[in-house]
């Protein structure tokens, strides 16, 4: 009986969702807006363009992960210090790679991402044209 209960507890613990959060308090400026509304607007625009490295499907503006909070605080501190959003984005790309942004720059590594939609449209038009030609004959 004890073995069955222990096995059940192990199974329940194994299927608990992994959490991207810890119990530490949030970093200053992680969830606090800047006093200057224009600076906060620039920070919000940049945070919406940056991907959370923990969640990967959310921007750092939307994520509740501690890492996203750290990144929000970093963006707000740098904006408050007078740094431009482009300079902050470039620094984060240099540190984390182009994956950190939802709008990756065009280079040899990201070229397939940029060219695939055009290729798919051309291939679809070609297939549709051939299909219509067959039907008309």
Asked if residue 92 has pLDDT above 60, the reply is: yes
For the chain, the maximum distance between any two Cα atoms, rounded to a whole number of angstroms, is: 76
For residue 20, what pLDDT is reported? 46
95 is written with which tokens?
């540190």
55 DSSP 8-state letter: T
- Residue identified by tokens 């096995």 is 7
pTM listed for this prediction: 0.62
Tell me which of 119 and 11 has the higher pLDDT: 119
Tell me the pLDDT tens digit for each residue of 78-89.
999 999 999 999
Cα R_g (the chain), whole angstroms: 23
Mean pLDDT value across residues 14-32: 59
* DSSP-assigned letters across all residues of 61-91: TT--SHHHHHHHHHHHHHHHTT--HHHHHHH
């Amino acid at each position: 009986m004890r073995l069955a209960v222990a096995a059940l507890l192990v199974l329940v613990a194994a299927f608990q969702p992994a959490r991207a959060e810890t119990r530490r308090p949030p970093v200053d400026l992680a969830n606090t807006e800047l006093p200057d509304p224009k600076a906060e607007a620039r920070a919000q625009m940049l945070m919406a363009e940056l991907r959370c490295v923990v969640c990967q499907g959310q921007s750092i503006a939307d994520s509740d992960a501690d890492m996203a909070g750290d990144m929000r605080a970093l963006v707000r501190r740098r904006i408050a210090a007078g740094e431009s959003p482009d300079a902050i984005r470039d620094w984060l790309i240099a540190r984390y790679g182009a994956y950190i942004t939802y709008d990756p720059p065009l280079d040899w590594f990201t070229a397939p991402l940029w060219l695939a939609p055009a290729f798919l449209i051309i291939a679809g038009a070609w297939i549709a044209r051939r299909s219509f030609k067959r039907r008309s004959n």
